[in-house]
A = this chain, B = another copy of it.
Amino acid sequence: MSDALVEIRLRKRLHAELTLEVDLELGTGCSILFGRSGSGKTTTLCAVAGLCRPDAGHVRVGDRVLYDSERGTSLPMRQRRVGMIFQDDLLFPHLSVRENVLYGLAHWPRQERGERLEAMADLFAIGPLLARRPASLSGGEKQRVGLARAIATRPQLLLCDEPISAIDQEGRAVLLAHLGRVQQTERIPVLYVTHSVQEAMALGEQVFVLDHGRVVARGTPLDVFTEPRQLSLARLTRVRNILSATVEQHASDEGLTLARVPGGPVLRVPLVAAPVGSTIIIGLRADDVLLARQPVTGISAQNMLEGRVTEILRHGADVEVLIDCGVRFVASVVPAAVTSLGLEPGGPVCMIIKARSCHLL
């Protein structure tokens, strides 16, 4: 038995050519299940929730074994304490939005129930929809209600199956931020299915890449998505940097926040509404890192970080430069830049990063 918070080992034959065979270990935090259509993501979540029976395997959340084919254990769904957000909403059509969200709170004290409902309505901006029936909701509204319903119950494990695919980019950013916050305050392990790198980056502390029913890559988003040898992945994603940083100071007149990456540099990022001392997560696309031989002045970029090239990876017309400046960064450049700057492993380099390129996740 591993000492991960959640342990998922499953085998299930789907059809002649596809057998799902996954082995995931999750911590408190959001783990992304990433993979192309038909790779078995939904089936994995269903098996964990008990919606379908795997052929064999073992599922453990904390010290509760939800399923174990050898011991013949298979907890009934209602005892699994697993929240799930479905790909096709599955909101109860005969209940109002309010009743849907309250559905899992039947045994809660009246007042807490009301408070939770309010909190969920705020979080997912569904206040004005509470009295409506799901049939009259738009696609994105349904997804938000589905999220609220599953999260309201404070499950011990949250399974999200492309929960925000129908939501526009603005709403998506807001929801992702909310989800991240929920996940952090409630310390729920989350298994999150998506094929959007943006979502994976924004939420994921860990990514599992599924292909034809098997986990073909796993690790932090940084490792997985920057692992240059994953060619199929490279086609699916855009490489990014993810940094955890502590808010050090706000310069609101300049529209900036200074955040220190532990063991690394101080980043100047667009003003965030987080208190000094709190931890924020910053996403930075490898494409957005500009490289220079030495610091330059008189440009709008707010960050100028000196470091050392650790590795230069080439695949065709793509070049990825790995840089160490206390923490590891990935920069993606065209081959011409490598020659013109004379970059080589071990050599010095300066990263120029716009504040605006640092996205708060």
Chain A contacts to B: CB under 8 angstroms: 35-38, 41-42, 87-89, 138-141, 161-162, 165-171, 195-197, 235-238, 251-256, 268, 270-271, 287-288, 290-294, 296-302, 316-319, 331-337, 339-341, 352, 354-357
The answer to whether A334 touches B270, judged by C-beta atoms less than 8 angstroms apart, is: yes
Interface of A, helix, strand, loop or mixed by DSSP: mixed
Docked complex Cα distance between A169 and B236 (Å): 6
Q: Which residues of chain B are near A287, meaning CB under 8 Å?
A: 288, 354, 356-357
Contact B299 A296 (CB under 8 A): yes
A317 contacts which of B268, B271, B334 (Cβ < 8 Å)? B271
Give the residues in chain B near A251, CB-CB below 8 Å: 336
Query: Smallest Cβ distance from A202 to chain B, in angstroms?
Result: 14
Are A339 and B254 closer than 8 Å at their CB atoms? Answer: yes
Q: A301 near B290 (CB under 8 angstroms)?
A: yes
Known A38-B140, A236-B168, A300-B337; contact A255-B317, beta-carbon cutoff 8 A: yes
Q: Smallest Cβ distance from A19 to chain B, in angstroms?
A: 15
- Contact indicator B302/A294 (Cβ below 8 Å): no
* Residue contact A37 to B140, C-beta cutoff 8 Å: yes
Q: Is the CB of A354 within 8 A of B290?
A: yes
